[in-house]
Structure 1
């Protein structure tokens, strides 16, 4: 088939969609129905293998971001016009269906099947759909291990060429023969799309309804609802169409199709087909709350403002009015606009002092006032919470924050009194642990080590098994040491180390014993269990015996063979199709999660697929079970899976360039994002190393990174480069002190300098406890614990 013919077919598809769109929402928006469906769903990582939605094939130039689902060298992009191999491109006749027997006879060889599959998917990625179809057709009857993958790419390649009958046939095969396929969801939806393109709206309506029924949790549900509504319009079911448009607008306000749906409602009303739709205040609040829960505070404020600015405010139900004022105040609080937050929260309490949001408003008024530097006013609001709403969930929090204000003012007796009030009045509250801790810490600080010892001892028994119990145990030892009871201190430090929690206090205890010139009796990790050990399968046979890639019988042409998701994972990893492998692992997880070895196997497969997030996540999910049920070397391997050497190439490259320990960089990445390149935070930090966009722009200028946008912070290499540079800068700012550097990375160098000026002469363990930011105080402990453990796992002797 010539290029000219292909172009004509693509133009024809555009023409059909333009025709459909002019009577509904216009050409540009109709095009969005297809081309943006997979592109803009970041969670749908597999879409990078299908590049853009092939239904439209929107552009021939795709900004070079659609890389092949094989690892390419960093920065290398795919040339959409290049040939995929040195073999001559097949002509149009070569792409036609060949006989099943001829195909099988030609490619019984497994390696040739793999080659054709790779060439087929690469051609698909490069938008060479004719060539993709040619290669995939050659293996569709014999490459059984990835038969559903072959059918999916084949169907989409044929769809863009307008070979509708073949497309329908292959989608049906995929739907019927492979209902558990990772492509089942997309195939079912695209099957409905196929009939939509062919203007068979009755059939497409039925299939969109089936999709919605069979995949109710799909992230593509808003799109399918929208398409269903369009079909219903075409089929003159206007009321049903309206209901679906309204459902999208109400239930998925953040979705790209929500605005299109509302425009369609307005169009139907303008054409006098339906009555004018006027959203109720409850509708507006529901949308605002959904935006709020998605951290889209500006959008939430826009919805809440419509309620508060309406002419009928005086007639608003008191509960709705109160919660709208409260949520608006909370939006501004999270946006750090504390003055506006204060205004709305004060309005909520002032107008509705007995509402269910009154105690909440008072508490967060205290938070806002504290952030504005009005500590006395904050204390007043906190006291009102306790006095007026003693049963509130926020009462113990209000007491705690009041105590904290007095503590940082060095009004120690007042601080201790508030903490003691929590212990006495709210012994089962969620701040009881913290209150005990603060009392013990105050006693330690003022030199009453005997009282501190007793308080910490009480905590160890009262909160046994919790993280704060370990912290209390450590400070109990420090108290013994201050009292001169050295052996008691040594025994406790050894007990903490023997617990193998590998928390900050494990390594702080080791340091204490070393300073006392006492052997810590620390059992190191068996490094033979390192995942990168070439002999690992001999060290861990129960993990590796079933997941290492062995020869499969895929090349036999025997269609009766059945392959599991794990079989497919092994095959895809061999081909280095990591994103597809990742999806297959996810589908297989439930089969393996019942025993410890199965959990380790799933985590290992994720690690091979370079999905460090899920590799850690499944270990964390079963942490207690694995921690208590594994023996060496499997327990040692468990630690390596919890602390992966992720993105090794980039970490090693930039830690060397900026002269910083790569293990320290790994520790920061682990605690910032758990190796998730798409991580974000309520504070706006982005990417692996959680860089604030404003800081990112400054770093980009230093590193001469051109055309900076916030989106580049999601790129793993860029994030590691920028984050490592900034971390090294903090190391230089604070005399190569790891504790101060990571604290500055989190809390800011200005704040860290202020804290050092106040408490910098203290022992480091004491200094950390003085850091006033809860997040930064805990961050230092977590990063340093990870750093020490990474050194145990990977530091060269």
Structure 2
């Protein structure tokens, strides 16, 4: 039974129509040619005509502008209302028109939205909010303010309560009623200090407070904008107002202000700016109680910027000072020594533990770094001794498993296969470790196979039973992986499945937030629908059946990150290891395909779109707002410098950091960079994925050093742990995408395209 059949056959009549439309998906884009709308056979029925206005057909046309698409959508919505007046679908079209026109033609928007109030009481809070925005756009700030304030009174459990505080405060500010504005804006900023509306709200709040002779409070609001939103234009405006407002008293930030602003930059992964602010703070406050904490952050930011020599000096000074931050600085220093190949200092550090105040975990980490350097220098016996010491110190932690794995790996590579099997067996006998257990099972089987040992079948069997869908299960080849998403895996009878889904949906249908989410989804307002669904996931956090349903709906609403997060938190064992039966719909949640049309538009024949999807899945988990610790941005985690280089090559106008949060721009530049790497590495997928993470220069060095190794060995020999694990995750997801969408990945070797 298909997903569509499964859902539509199980829903009661009152929900059936909703579910059918949801399963077909929606998008804000419409047919870019509005002239075709009036002759389109899709408009023979009201529902089909309405859906045609929302659903994007085929891949995005790069020659069609956003404005063109919006006009086409408006034309199609008008067609629904003209050809099917009075129908529920025409009423929905009118409501969507109201939302679209709120910014463009607010007078018309008000007319549509007021009509919708009668027809969609479940969306009363949203419609009042949109009406308020339209009135504010028209300049009618007083009725807008009153509408915003009425939302929580009319709908007490609305999820818009803080949004209406921000907008209501702004409306009262424009009316000139500062006391009301101050009350609302103060509460809004207090409850959501990092909201995107907070910086402008703080400027309005400050202006009102100064007008009301609350000068100190007004300056405090300006300082808050400058300190906690340092990357915004409002921060610059706040600084200008502070300087101008002080008159003869020159305003200067205090050391605490500087440090708070530095931490805000650090949290945003804007490390260049964080370094500047941290250095100002350290210069201004030589005796500040948080000085050493700031030095630690300074060293960390310098590492993120790959300014290793400067970071090294910062951490060395911290270690020498013997302060509470010295132990963490010691581990960072060990990382730098390893990255720079300074083995002498790294070994000296690993032998001076009695002089250092380190935890067992920190000691084990440094020993592992030292062993890695020795291994890289082919000092295998010394590395074995160092790893054994790390395993002893590591106790029952993952560090012990890693040390034992590395011992076995050296023994395997140097031909001491019986010893390698014994070392691997120690990991298998210990606590089940999702990272190292499948790894040692695979290489234990390889070692046994090389010795023609009959136990090889049992070890492969154990790997396939416990981890059939893991990277190593895929490598084994003989594991029985779950069927494609078109074939339900491990499900009970269709009748039982139908009964389960009907019960879930009926339970959820009683919740007004669920009904609201369904209606918003039908309107194509996916972000709003996702907000309601995300709230429901907290309400039903312990109900796995409800979480399954909500994750599917979130994914259908385009909230891939939230949906994938739920799937990984609650169904990881089945999805990542193959241990549980997984409903077919959940595979779509775990391996989203919503961006494939955009990917295909830019990938052409140069890049397998499923490779791009796998990279997005592992880079950002489909979070378009993701920022990595080193400052990589968006879906494909593109660094700004890389993006600008690729943009110049593709003839894309100057790209700034903020534009990388745009999904299409990020995919365009990420795909462009991936295509460049594939060409550079002659289509070798394994090298390309490694280079996407570590850079092509490092990977070219590794290729020269290990070009005679088999692909599975090459991956294990990647020196950077982050890159090594990244390659495994991406290649696993890449093959899973092919299994789910095409039944299998035909390439057996890791370096080949499926």
Q: Which residue of 1 aligns with 2:37?
A: none
CA distance in 1, matches of 2:209, 2:265: 29
The Cα of 1:128 is off from its aligned counterpart by: 0.5
Q: Which residue of 2 aligns with 1:727?
A: 674
Provide closer, same or farther for how the CA distance between residues 540 and 782 of structure 1 changes in structure 2, counting only shifts above 3 A: farther
**Equivalences for 1:228-267 in 2 at 5 Å?**
228-249=205-226, 253=230, 257-267=234-244
Residue 421 of structure 1 pairs with residue 368 of structure 2? no
Q: Which residue of 2 aligns with 1:332?
A: 302
The Cα offsets for residues 121-173 of structure 1, whole Å up to 9 and x where unpaired, read as: 22224x21111112222232332132222211112212232334532442233
Residue 359 of structure 1 pairs with residue 348 of structure 2? no
CA contact (8 A) 2:484 2:743 kept: no
Q: Which residue of 1 aligns with 2:554?
A: 606
CA distance in 2, matches of 1:749, 1:290: 32
The Cα offsets for residues 365-424 of structure 1, whole Å up to 9 and x where unpaired, read as: 333344444332343345445643344653222111111111001011111111111122
CA distance in 1, matches of 2:113, 2:326: 65
The Cα offsets for residues 98-132 of structure 1, whole Å up to 9 and x where unpaired, read as: xxxxxxxx99742332122122122224x211111
Q: Which residue of 2 aligns with 1:695?
A: 642
CA contact (8 A) 1:229 1:242 kept: yes
Structure 2 unaligned segments of length 5 or more: list them. 1-27, 30-52, 79-83, 745-754
Residue 505 of structure 1 pairs with residue 472 of structure 2? yes
The Cα of 1:192 is off from its aligned counterpart by: 2.0
CA distance in 2, matches of 1:578, 1:362: 47
Q: Which residue of 2 aligns with 1:33?
A: none
CA contact (8 A) 1:84 1:122 kept: no
Provide closer, same or farther for how the CA distance between residues 757 and 458 of structure 1 changes in structure 2, counting only shifts above 3 A: same
RMSD: 3.8
The Cα of 1:528 is off from its aligned counterpart by: 3.8
Structure 2 residue corresponding to 1:397, chosen from 362, 365, 369: 365
Residue 138 of structure 1 pairs with residue 111 of structure 2? no
Provide closer, same or farther for how the CA distance between residues 546 and 144 of structure 1 changes in structure 2, counting only shifts above 3 A: farther
Structure 1 unaligned segments of length 5 or more: list them. 1-47, 50-68, 90-105, 514-519, 531-535, 553-561
Tell which deviates more after alignment, 688-697 or 470-479.
688-697
CA distance in 1, matches of 2:669, 2:238: 41
Structure 2 residue corresponding to 1:754, chosen from 701, 705, 709: 701
CA distance in 2, matches of 1:83, 1:482: 65
CA contact (8 A) 2:269 2:631 kept: no
The Cα of 1:617 is off from its aligned counterpart by: 1.0
Residue 584 of structure 1 pairs with residue 552 of structure 2? no
Normalized against structure 2, the TM-score is what? 0.80
Tell which deviates more after alignment, 136-145 or 369-378.
369-378
CA contact (8 A) 2:469 2:576 kept: no
* SS of match in other structure, 1:639: helix
Residue 492 of structure 1 pairs with residue 483 of structure 2? no
Residue 433 of structure 1 pairs with residue 401 of structure 2? yes
**Equivalences for 1:634-645 in 2 at 5 Å?**
634-645=582-593
* SS of match in other structure, 1:431: helix
Greater fraction of residues in helix:
2
Q: Which residue of 2 aligns with 1:78?
A: 67
CA contact (8 A) 2:467 2:577 kept: no
The Cα offsets for residues 258-296 of structure 1, whole Å up to 9 and x where unpaired, read as: 454455444554367xxx766543443343234323322
The Cα of 1:574 is off from its aligned counterpart by: 2.1
Provide closer, same or farther for how the CA distance between residues 227 and 80 of structure 1 changes in structure 2, counting only shifts above 3 A: farther
Q: Which residue of 1 aligns with 2:5?
A: none
CA distance in 2, matches of 1:418, 1:505: 27
CA contact (8 A) 2:469 2:575 kept: no
CA distance in 1, matches of 2:254, 2:677: 52
The Cα of 1:604 is off from its aligned counterpart by: 1.2
CA distance in 2, matches of 1:769, 1:160: 59
CA distance in 2, matches of 1:564, 1:742: 45
Provide closer, same or farther for how the CA distance between residues 744 and 215 of structure 1 changes in structure 2, counting only shifts above 3 A: closer
Tell which deviates more after alignment, 257-266 or 494-503.
257-266
CA distance in 2, matches of 1:506, 1:212: 50
Provide closer, same or farther for how the CA distance between residues 685 and 281 of structure 1 changes in structure 2, counting only shifts above 3 A: closer
Provide closer, same or farther for how the CA distance between residues 376 and 623 of structure 1 changes in structure 2, counting only shifts above 3 A: same
Residue 671 of structure 1 pairs with residue 618 of structure 2? yes
Residue 114 of structure 1 pairs with residue 88 of structure 2? no
CA contact (8 A) 1:537 1:545 kept: no
* SS of match in other structure, 2:583: helix
Structure 2 residue corresponding to 1:341, chosen from 282, 294, 311: 311
CA contact (8 A) 2:467 2:578 kept: no
> Whose radius of gyration is greater, 1 or 2?
1
CA contact (8 A) 1:526 1:633 kept: no
Provide closer, same or farther for how the CA distance between residues 184 and 422 of structure 1 changes in structure 2, counting only shifts above 3 A: same
Q: Which residue of 1 aligns with 2:173?
A: 196
CA distance in 1, matches of 2:131, 2:641: 45
Provide closer, same or farther for how the CA distance between residues 596 and 719 of structure 1 changes in structure 2, counting only shifts above 3 A: same
CA distance in 1, matches of 2:650, 2:495: 43
Structure 1 residue corresponding to 2:147, chosen from 164, 170, 173: 170
* SS of match in other structure, 1:78: helix
Provide closer, same or farther for how the CA distance between residues 162 and 691 of structure 1 changes in structure 2, counting only shifts above 3 A: closer
The Cα offsets for residues 297-331 of structure 1, whole Å up to 9 and x where unpaired, read as: 22322232223334x73xx25x5444443332332
Structure 2 residue corresponding to 1:686, chosen from 620, 633, 637: 633
CA distance in 1, matches of 2:668, 2:173: 46
CA distance in 2, matches of 1:149, 1:681: 34
Normalized against structure 1, the TM-score is what? 0.76
* SS of match in other structure, 1:398: helix
CA distance in 2, matches of 1:372, 1:278: 40
Residue 309 of structure 1 pairs with residue 283 of structure 2? yes
CA distance in 1, matches of 2:302, 2:544: 46
Q: Which residue of 1 aligns with 2:608?
A: 661
The Cα offsets for residues 664-715 of structure 1, whole Å up to 9 and x where unpaired, read as: 3322222222223333323343333333344334433444444455555444
Residue 287 of structure 1 pairs with residue 261 of structure 2? yes
Q: Which residue of 2 aligns with 1:12?
A: none
Q: Which residue of 2 aligns with 1:95?
A: none
The Cα of 1:80 is off from its aligned counterpart by: 12
CA distance in 1, matches of 2:298, 2:219: 30
| Number of residue pairs the alignment of both structures matches | 679
Tell which deviates more after alignment, 454-463 or 146-155.
146-155
Structure 2 residue corresponding to 1:472, chosen from 430, 440, 445: 440
**Equivalences for 1:546-561 in 2 at 5 Å?**
none
